[in-house]
Structure 1
Amino acid sequence: MNAQLTPPSAAAGLDAWLSYLEALHPKEIELGLERIKTVAQRLAVDPGAAKVITVAGTNGKGSTVRYLETVLRNGGYQTGVYISPHLVNYEERVRINGLELEAQQHVNAFQAVERARGDTSLTYFEFGTLAAFWLMMQAPLDVWILEVGLGGRLDAVNCLAADVGIVTSVGIDHVDFLGPDRTSIAREKAGIFRADKIAIIGEADFPPAILSELKQAGIAPLSVGEDFNYRLALDAGSWDYFGHRNVLRDLPLPHVPLPNAATAICALEQLELPVSEQAIRQGLAQAREKGRLQFQPGKPDVLIDVAHNPHAATFLATHIKQRFSDRRVYLVIGMLKDKDIQGTLAALADVVDDWYLADLSGARAASAQQLASALPASVKETDAQQFSSVKAAYQAACSAASDDQQQALVLVCGSFYTVSQIPLAE
């Protein structure tokens, strides 16, 4: 920690506090629970009677959180949600009963954490996590829904033992922190599970070695395909859920990924809070998540998704084949250089007709030239253009798609940083 760093005043505003948080700790990411547990104890973090649901996974965390929130709220419960990262504004990270909070409320929370931490140095994410907990303690909530930032076992939110732990999926990402293969990554994500609590796995191909380790630790997770399942209707206009306690038929197709809806329903079945079928149906229909399969109709139509690894890109490509198989697809993409760029582009190749490759800014950013060099051999050089910004690439793609005689779709993906630069409908 910089000993000369002085915390902002209450009147300094949210941006000043966020700058302070960024400079407070020598590393942007430093996994471990010792620091946050120390400060959480000083801050007297305690969910009280509220149930805690923690959601980990390579992909699908945000939509699972949203399903849980909308269904529980339709069931009449008071909810607090903590997610990361945000797309545009920091205030997106905390929702109380579905609503974001005012900037000053976040400042008040940061001040409380600052008073409690003493000489303990916290990362940006640790500080923000404790602030989110403090904000949730200010409201009479029934459920805290927490999204893991990175991994699970050593992630800051895991300082609280979840009543229900969920792992949505396991893919190759963040290998520098989580390990080089799916088994290593699954082990880190399954670290949110506790022997005396409910564990749910929404990944059909979960590494067997980790399942064995969980069994030895006295953890018996409920797994998709075995303990619960889902099935699209023949006309793909609705879907059915098959669980331990309920069979729900002709459910409305959600606006965010369907597999995560089944995982969320399984979690709600196990939670000791009754939720009616009507609340489930209403919650599924209402669930929306910015930047996740977000369709914006217009001239041209635009589909926005934060897919930034091969696992998510494969799901996105499947979605396009199912919903937009008759469209010419203009892809706007910018990525970070520490991601699997080649694998991500390869997963999209079958559904993309025209590639608009964009530079991102920052130390981790990949250039459009780096993206071009990673394109599959099947992509013709004339089908790919390079741009110095996401904005320029998006404008060019929209212009070309609007002029296209075919029904076209502009697809934007590759990174939260990419999606954050696109106008998003509320």
Structure 2
Amino acid sequence: MNYQETVDYLYQQLPMFTRVGASALKADLHNTLELCKQLGDPQHKFKSIHVAGTNGKGSTSHMLAAIFQQAGYKTGLYTSPHLLDFRERIRINGEMMSKEFVVEFVKQIQPTIEQLAPSFFELTVAMAFEYFALEQVDIAIIEVGLGGRLDSTNVITPELSVITNISYDHMHILGNTLPEIAGEKAGIIKANVPVVISETQPEIQSVFIDKAAFLGAPIHFADREWLLQESEFSQGHLSLGVQHTHSGDMKRFHTDLTGQYQMKNIMGVLSAVKVLQQAGWELPEQTVFTALAHVKKLTGLRGRWEIISHDPLTIFDVGHNEAGVTEIVQQLKHMVYRHLHIVTGFVKDKEVRKVLPLFPAAATYYFCKAQLPRAMDQQELAEMAHESGLRGHAYESVQQAFQAAKQQAHKDDLVLVCGSFFVVAEVM
């Protein structure tokens, strides 16, 4: 098989959560452990940082990767899902793995695939671990796919665990309350391995404190270690001034990640860096500042309040759940525009009825359906949105919706594409 045939084989043969939903998930780590065993347990051959959370884990992973990369370490990065190219999931120093590696890996492990019938995610995790081990990375930043406790990535023993925001998402899998969801995310906390919690949430902090205490894991709440003293948002960047609560040290820096919601993630990253410095990693302060100013360039991060064009101002954001949409709406309050156009679509298993009322009523909506089985029908979405006071039309495809928004938008308007990774991917 050539590269395209190999990727098609993976999509068609292996159950894929992003396409079919919960039926692709396995209720234990058996397949991942078996795949890794067949490969000689590559997950134990490199150092790692494990990042979980409902929102912010992707941005946090990319920021940490940028910092290690800028500091001169050979840095692996595993994230999901991808936007345009399957290989975006597995990178070293910002470069996607080679097509040749994908072909050879699948060819080598195909008998095991036929025998085990792993999920798409289980296989890609094993692929990432094998790639990082073969390439002898100094460290790999590993983003959890879903949850934590039973996530395929949870077979590593990292240098540090990081848990970002916890909010309602995938409740049919992770639980119906925030403490239940937090309990699943807390599953990445390991014995004697430090853990950073990016955001203190009073209703669930005890979940993390108790789990960390039980395992003897030092715990750090980032927003208790850093105080935001100043912030300035412009269309191109975010400037921050933060003060360390114990030392009183003031740090000012810029980042090319433009969403204001990144402030919470950045504090988690700063606390993570402090823990890692104390553990002996050489991450000089100036290196950290330089890396945060060039995260997109260093790592290839896309789709987080990403400004695509200015005439009209067009922004892509992959925010897709209650907390993500809340942050998007908060960000909109800082924007200057004549009228707002929102292109959006969701997958069926999201709490869409809870999310839609969060959107601004004073906007024109373009409802669409991404090309995957999990996607919600655009007509159904439009009817649901109308019940929440949102006005707009349904379109057969994401591209039709986006073209309609661009045609109707005045040069001083704002066009926002959000609601799903897959909607943003299809527009890209």
Normalising by structure 1, we get a TM-score of: 0.88
In the aligned structure 1, how far is the partner of 2:338 from the partner of 2:249? 36
**CA distance 1:47–1:346, change in 2 (3 Å):** same
What percentage of residue pairs aligned between the two structures are identical? 28
- Quote how far apart the aligned CAs of 1:417 are: 1.2
The answer to which of 189-198 and 17-26 deviates more is 17-26
Hey, what does 2:273 align to over in structure 1? 268
Distance 1:224 1:135, change over 3 A: same
CA distance in 1, matches of 2:382, 2:127: 41
| Change over 3 Å in CA distance of 1:117–1:212 after alignment to 2 | same
1:419 aligned to which of 391, 415, 424:
424
Q: CA deviation at 1:12?
A: 7.5
Matched, 1:312 2:324: yes
Q: Tell me the equivalent position of 1:223.
A: 221
* Among candidates 356, 381, 385, match of residue 345 of structure 1: 356
In the alignment, does 2:101 pair up with 1:105? yes
Report if the CA contact (8 A) 1:345-1:375 is conserved.
yes
Deviations 1:253-291 (A, max 9, x none): 442523212211211221231211111111111112211
Q: Quick one: distance in 2 between partners of 1:269 and 1:85? A: 29
Superposed displacement of residue 325, structure 1: 4.0
Structure 1 unpaired stretches of 5+: 1-8
Q: For 2:340, what is the secondary structure of its paired residue?
A: strand
Check conservation: 1:77, 1:143, Cα contact below 8 A. Answer: yes
> What amino acid maps onto 1:42 in structure 2?
Q
Structure 2 unaligned runs (5+)?
none
User: Structure 1, residues 135-182: CA drift from partner, whole Å, max 9, x if none?
Assistant: 111113111111111100000000112221111111111111101111
1:104-162 CA-partner distances (Å, limit 9, x unpaired): 21122223443566833311110111011111111131111111111000000001122
Q: Which residue of 2 aligns with 1:59?
A: 55
- TM-score, scaled relative to structure 2: 0.88
| Contact 2:193–2:218 (CA under 8 A) maintained in structure 1 | no
Are 1:174 and 2:170 counterparts? yes
Q: Is the deviation greater in 198-207 or in 90-99?
A: 198-207
Task: Work out which of the residue numbers 149, 165, 171 in structure 1 matches 2:161.
Answer: 165
Residue of 208, 213, 226 corresponding to 2:210: 213
Query: Mapping of 1:94-173 within 5 angstroms?
Result: 94-114=90-110, 119-173=115-169
Matched, 1:297 2:285: no
SS of equivalent to 1:222 = strand
Distance across 2 between alignment mates of 1:172 and 1:255: 24
* Superposition CA RMSD, Å: 2.5
Matches within 5 A, 1:36-75: 36-46=32-42, 50-75=46-71
2:10 counterpart of 1:22:
no
Q: 184-193 vs 109-118, which deviates more?
A: 109-118
Following superposition, the deviation at residue 24 of structure 1 comes to 10
Give CA-to-partner distance per residue, 1:19-69, whole Å, 9 cap, x none: 454269994221311221123123122456742101111111111111011
Residue 287 of structure 1 corresponds to which residue in structure 2? 295
CA gap of 1:278–1:209, structure 2 versus 1, over 3 A, is: closer
Contact persistence 1:300–1:409 (CA under 8 A) = yes
Match of 1:410 among 406, 412, 415: 415
Shift of residue 209, structure 1, vs aligned partner? 4.0
Give the superposition deviation at 1:95.
0.4
Determine the C-alpha separation between the residues in 1 that align with 2:392 and 2:145.
Answer: 33
5 Å matches for 1:358-397?
358-375=368-385, 379=389, 383-397=391-405
Distance 1:297-1:247 versus aligned 2 partners, 3 A rule: farther
**Segment drifting more, 385-394 vs 103-112:** 103-112
C-alpha spacing 1:339/1:47, structure 2 compared with 1 (3 Å): closer
Change (3 A) 1:61 1:21: farther
Identify the structure with the greater helix proportion: 2
- Give distance in 2, aligned partners of 1:386 and 1:231: 42
Residue 166 of structure 1 aligns to a residue in which SS? strand
